[in-house]
Amino acid sequence: MALQALRSSGVAFRKILSHFPDELSLAFAYGSGVFRQAGPNSDQKNAMLDFVFTVDDPVAWHSKNLKKNRSHYSFLKVLGPRIISSIQNNCGAGVYYNPLITCDGRLIKYGVISTSVLVEDLLNWNNLYVAGRLQKPVKIVAMSENVILRSALDKNLRSAATAAFLMLPESFSEEDLFVEIAGLSYSDKSPEGQFTQLMALPKTLQQQINRIMDPPGKNRDVEETLLQVAHDPDCGDVVRLGLSAIVRASSVRQSAKGIFTAGVKKSLVYGSLKLHKMWKGWLRKAS
């Protein structure tokens, strides 16, 4: 029964994809509309489906999508595909979202990101917006044979496992490892081992750790700071602070961009839906 449901959902996702230009290097779905959430009040069938489309040429893709699905866009559609692509690449976290779209009888939201921007985020964790999403369960709907992208997807998961291990205590369970975004298993928590792992983290996270730990006026290089952190008993907390700084900044920028890409009306509606979902979650916890 579960396998049959998985197959039928895959067919439904690909049918939705057929409404969009097909030049996609990667397309994946995520969220409560894809994976059943815990709790008796979860409504997977009517939940909004969330997609991310990765495209090599955003100008060409948006140009075709404007012809096929012009109503999906906010007032920015009058500016044309080049301006839309510029806003996508240069503002927020590099994603252009069209929310609250009805497609094949389902409410969907889809984000568009350039392949090159995604690869940079996967490798260096520039903002951990889509890279962070790809560290969690997703349903891959389409993927090209782009070797660089596939390699970056693997590297992102390895980096997540390294960061998770650094944040775990000396002793942890398998469940703890998965909760911290797991993958690899290590047995030595020595400063030397932690320094090796810190040096393997993506560049942006290393730079954030350096900003947090570098005293004013010192101007130490990143490697020197990471060596100090490796000997710090609170190494995991420092890594967590660095991650929080990346995610917080990119989320604020992406949310601000959403007002323009989605339009004020859709932003208000989408925001109210998110608040309602949060409120239901709080009620379940309280009960």
Distance CA 150, CA 25 (A): 10
pLDDT confidence of residue 4: 47
Would the pLDDT of 41 be above 60?
Answer: no
Amino acid code (one letter) for 110: Y
3-state secondary structure 104-173: CCEEEEEEEEEHHHHHHHHHHCCCCCHHHHCCCCCEEEEECCCHHHHHHHHHHHHHHHHHHHHHCCCCCC
Q: What is the mean pLDDT of residues 73-88?
A: 93
In order of 23, 49, 55, 77, 83, the CA distances from 74 in angstroms are 22, 19, 20, 6, 13
Q: Kindly list the strands in the beta sheet with 26-30, ordered across the sheet, starting from the edge strand earlier in the chain.
A: 95-103, 106-114, 49-55, 26-30, 139-143
- Local confidence band at 78 (pLDDT 50, 70, 90 cut-offs): very high
Higher pLDDT, 211 or 250: 211
Nearest to 85 by CA among 64, 60, 54, 119: 60
Mean pLDDT over each residue of the chain, to the nearest integer: 80
Nearest to 69 by CA among 108, 32, 25, 34: 108
- C-alpha distances in Å from residue 207, one per residue of 27, 40, 201: 30, 43, 10
Under a CB-based contact definition with an 8 Å cutoff, are residues 160 and 181 in contact?
yes
Of 100 and 284, the structure prediction assigns the larger pLDDT to 100
State the pLDDT confidence band at 224, using cuts at 50, 70 and 90.
Answer: confident
2-146: CATH topology is: Beta Polymerase; domain 2 (3.30.460)
Contact 209, 229 (CB under 8 A): yes
- Comparing CA positions, the residue from 148, 85, 161 lying closest to residue 119 is 148
Is this structure's pTM higher than 0.85? Answer: no
Ranges 15-24, 58-67, 116-125, 230-239: which has the least confidence: 230-239
Alpha-helical runs (H) found in the chain: 2-17, 58-68, 81-90, 115-124, 130-133, 147-167, 174-179, 191-199, 203-213, 222-230, 235-262, 264-286
- Range with the lowest mean pLDDT among 7-11, 80-84, 229-233? 7-11
pLDDT tens digits for range 133-144: 898 889 999 999
> Residue holding tokens 């994809």?
17
Give the pLDDT band of residue 38 (cuts 50, 70, 90).
low
CA distance readout (Å), 252 to 248, 249, 275: 6, 5, 16
Q: Which two tokens stand for residue 118?
A: 């995604």
Task: Provide the pLDDT for residue 1.
Answer: 42
Distance CA 117, CA 286 (A): 41
Collapsing DSSP states into helix, strand and coil, what is residue 39? Answer: coil
Per-residue pLDDT at 163 = 86
Tell how far CA 254 is from the center of its chain.
Answer: 11
**Residues 6 or more apart in contact with residue 60 via CB below 8 angstroms:** 23, 81
Residue predicted with more confidence, 243 or 110: 110
Domain edges within the chain: 2-146
pLDDT tens for 165-207 read 888 887 888 788 777 763 332 337 567 667 778 888 888 989 9
Confidence of residue 65 (pLDDT cuts 50, 70, 90): very high
Beta carbons of 259 and 94 less than 8 angstroms apart:
no
